[in-house]
């Protein structure tokens, strides 16, 4: 497995301005604040590794908590440093060698959306260093030690920097290692911008950093509004079913994965019975017509087509309507071949197609116990249930 993108979430701060060292564990709409922060990276199919530097004295506590949250993706909790940049440097030390880019994100910035994360990652692939930022709304004054105003700064070209800040790992590591020990940077971009072109992309005013108790109250309001918007369309439930006959000399595809076997499934397309049931379930959840309506087997354009292509067409339309997967459960009915060795690969394939973490996908296989057409080895079938939600948190 390659690890082009990784994330480091510095969480070793003392919470002085907030007034509590337990800031990251404060309740935010039913979950600890830190849970929300990690979950966005944990569910991103492009982030392969997540590191969370925490206060060394509380390492055991945070390790236990993060483990109890059971993220599908490995989240490595490590002791942080005395300052933010030292925590980041410790995080870089444990990243896989294959890592090319690293996203540094404030652990106390829990309202990052998948869309903003994707925007920053996309930009990072085009440039060496990128940060999200928003225009300054207020007029900014410079004051002296006596709080006397010395200057009004031009607001037009000012931006408030946010995270995640994404850098090519080699540049960030060398910059941090070469940093003057007396210099305490407030973010990583302030180091990199001196030595490499650093770009800004549009951030979000809702991508809030929790610094004070008032910030937490505002974050609760924002997140509650997001949850309400998701429920406006409601949780949509869909079920799908498909079956195909078995024939000699055909390739066997299940969930987009080719299964080694001397037989396969008969179909106008590639006969991927599981993916066909998935498509029907998704279309049903959105209130649409079934797969046969969208991709009729009387149309020669679909003869021999891979079901993954049919899926991508259907899923693209559903995403345009604002839907995303909440979870998927499936059962494949097949007397043979043995599917247990392939279940995880099928699960990973479906997760990649649906752009979600594999922990939202369940794939099971059952035989027909030699009692019906499946049991007699005449065909295969698949049952799928999905839930869809509108938008993202």
**Burial (0-12, 13-18, 19+ Cβ within 10 Å), 64:** exposed
Query: Which has more confidence, 85 or 304?
Result: 85
CB-based contact 109:163 (threshold 8 Å):
yes
Task: Share the mean pLDDT of the chain.
Answer: 89
**What distance in Å separates the CA atoms of residue 107 and residue 173, rounded to the nearest whole number?**
20
CB-based contact 34:219 (threshold 8 Å):
no
Q: Which of 89-98, 296-305, 372-381 has the weakest average pLDDT?
A: 296-305
Strands 49-54 and 75-79: parallel
Q: Which of 40-54, 126-140, 288-302 has the weakest average pLDDT?
A: 288-302
pLDDT of residue 297: 75
- All domains in the chain, ordered by first residue: 5-231 (3.90.550.10), 233-390 (3.30.1330.50)
Predicted confidence band of residue 155 (pLDDT cuts 50, 70, 90): confident
pLDDT of residue 294: 74
CB-based contact 159:78 (threshold 8 Å):
no
According to DSSP, residue 25 is labeled G
Chain Cα centroid distance, residue 221:
23
For residue 310, give the nearest of 344, 282, 348 by alpha carbon: 282
Reading phi first (left if > 0) and then psi (alpha if -120 to 50, else beta), residue 377 is in left
**What distance in Å separates the CA atoms of residue 344 and residue 333, rounded to the nearest whole number?**
16
**What distance in Å separates the CA atoms of residue 7 and residue 105, rounded to the nearest whole number?**
7
**What distance in Å separates the CA atoms of residue 111 and residue 158, rounded to the nearest whole number?**
23
- Other beta carbons within 10 angstroms of residue 200's beta carbon come to 16
**What distance in Å separates the CA atoms of residue 88 and residue 74, rounded to the nearest whole number?**
18
Query: Which has more confidence, 65 or 297?
Result: 65
pLDDT of residue 1: 47
């Amino acid at each position: 497995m390659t690890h082009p993108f990784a994330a480091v979430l510095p969480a070793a701060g003392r919470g002085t301005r907030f007034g509590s060292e337990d800031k990251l564990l404060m309740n935010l709409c039913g979950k600890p604040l830190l849970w929300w922060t990690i979950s966005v990276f944990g569910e991103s199919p492009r982030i392969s590794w997540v590191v969370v530097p925490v206060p060394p004295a509380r390492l055991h506590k945070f390790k236990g908590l993060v483990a109890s949250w059971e993220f599908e993706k490995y989240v490595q909790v490590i002791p942080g440093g005395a300052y933010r940049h030292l925590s980041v440097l410790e995080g870089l030390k444990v990243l896989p060698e294959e890592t090319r880019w690293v996203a540094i994100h404030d652990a106390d910035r829990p309202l990052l959306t998948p869309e903003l994360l994707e925007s920053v990652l996309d930009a990072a692939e085009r440039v060496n260093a990128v940060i999200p930022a928003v225009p300054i709304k207020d007029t900014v004054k410079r004051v002296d030690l006596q709080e006397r105003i010395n200057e009004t700064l031009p607001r037009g070209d000012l931006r408030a920097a946010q995270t995640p800040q994404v850098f090519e790992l080699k540049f960030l590591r060398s910059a941090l290692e070469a940093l003057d020990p007396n210099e305490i940077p407030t973010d990583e971009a302030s180091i990199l911008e001196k030595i490499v072109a650093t770009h800004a992309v549009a951030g979000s005013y809702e991508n809030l950093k929790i610094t004070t108790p008032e910030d937490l109250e505002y974050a609760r309001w924002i997140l509650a509004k997001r949850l309400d918007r998701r429920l406006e369309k409601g949780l949509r439930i869909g079920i799908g079913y498909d079956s195909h006959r078995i024939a000699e000399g055909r390739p066997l595809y299940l969930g987009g994965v080719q299964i080694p076997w001397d037989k396969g499934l008969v179909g106008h397309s590639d006969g991927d019975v599981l993916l066909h049931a998935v498509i029907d379930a998704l279309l049903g959840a959105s209130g649409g017509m079934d797969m046969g309506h969208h991709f009729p087997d009387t149309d020669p354009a679909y003869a021999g087509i891979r079901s993954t292509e049919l899926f991508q067409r259907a899923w693209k339309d559903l995403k345009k309507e604002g839907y995303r997967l909440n979870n998927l459960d499936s059962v494949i009915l097949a007397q043979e071949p043995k599917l247990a060795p392939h279940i995880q690969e099928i699960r990973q394939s479906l997760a990649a197609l649906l752009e979600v973490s594999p922990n939202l996908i369940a794939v099971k296989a059952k035989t027909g116990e030699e009692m019906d057409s499946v049991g007699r080895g005449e065909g295969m079938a698949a049952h799928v249930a999905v839930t869809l939600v509108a938008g993202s948190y």
